[in-house]
Amino acid sequence: MPDNSALGLRDQSTCPKCGAINDRSSWFCPSCYTILTKDIEPLRRLQKKVKFGQDQQKQELQRKVPSSFIRDLEPDEYFYATLSREQDENFYSVTNKRIIKYRNGEYTEIPLNEVVEVFPVRGKVDSPSLATAFIPIVNVLTRPQATLEFEISTFHGIEKIDGMKGTPQYCGMFWRMTMIAVDDYEKGREFVTYKIAKLNLG
């Protein structure tokens, strides 16, 4: 019986610049950033959205976290995710360099090169029957609001990313993006939207 390998080859193309194998539908080569599509307008719009999102997260960082706490962003520093709007004066962010928590006037920064493990997220719900207890995230997902936390093991001990407020899906997304950022750092990868932001579209 056919193994569909021929079909797989038809769905792939070779980058004319670096020779990397890409999906035929790819707009650009992730290896060398060569543009592979003739219609770059959708890519321009996407890049504009990515850069706008990065600017918004940088502005939130500068608005909420006192400059005395945080050093300047590095030229190649890229935000994976930020929690800010639902957090009162608190701020949480993960970049390709570090994890940031600014809560109740206290600043914590965890460089990604010091992260050993990111533990599962847990949710806290305020309910008379549950006595404000932390429970597994799967039991919190149906609730409109919750407070979430997760722990990070570093070479210096355990750091807690706690006090995140909002919908469990929204806060859980931040935990998930933290996991992705750590994994990308360990494997030397760049996040796809970071690559889109770096494209030279003329």
Read off the pLDDT of each residue in 156-160 and give the average, rounded to a whole number: 96
Average pLDDT of the chain to the nearest whole number: 85
Q: For residues 122-151, b (16+ Cβ closer than 10 Å) or e, as one string?
A: bbbbeeeeeeeeeeebeebeeeeebbbbbb
Share of the chain above pLDDT 70, in %: 84
Instruction: Answer whether residue 35 is part of any domain.
Output: no
Answer yes or no: is pLDDT of 118 > 80: yes
| pLDDT above 60 for 102 | yes
Residue 144 binned pLDDT confidence (cut-offs 50, 70, 90) = low
pTM here is 0.80
- Average pLDDT of the residues in 173-200: 93
Say which residue, 157 or 138, is predicted with more confidence: 157
Across 69-79, average pLDDT: 89
The answer as to whether 13 is a domain residue is no
**CB neighbour burial string for 79-88, b if at least 16 within 10 angstroms, e if fewer:** bbbbbbeebe
pLDDT at 104: 95
Q: Report residue 13 as tokens.
A: 């193309």
Q: Is residue 84 part of a domain?
A: yes
The answer to whether residue 9 sits within a structural domain is: no
Domain count, the chain: 1
For residues 168 and 135, the model is more confident at: 168
Work out the burial of residue 174: count CB atoms within 10 Å of its CB; fewer than 13 is exposed, 13-18 middle, 19 or more buried.
buried
Residue 10 lies in a domain: no
Residue 88 has pLDDT above 70, yes or no: yes
- Binned at pLDDT 50, 70 and 90, residue 63 comes out as very high
Q: What is the CATH number of the domain that holds 179?
A: 2.30.29
User: Is 185 among the domain residues?
Assistant: yes
- The angle subtended at Cα 110 by Cα 48 and Cα 147, nearest 5°, is 80
Domain that holds residue 163: 55-196
Percent of the chain with pLDDT over 90: 56
Q: pLDDT-based confidence at 10, cuts 50/70/90? A: low
Pick the range with the lowest mean pLDDT from 12-21, 118-127, 169-178: 118-127
Specify if 24 maps to a domain. no
Report residue 167 as tokens.
């919908």
Q: Does residue 18 sit within a domain?
A: no
In the predicted model, what is the mean pLDDT of residues 15-39? 89
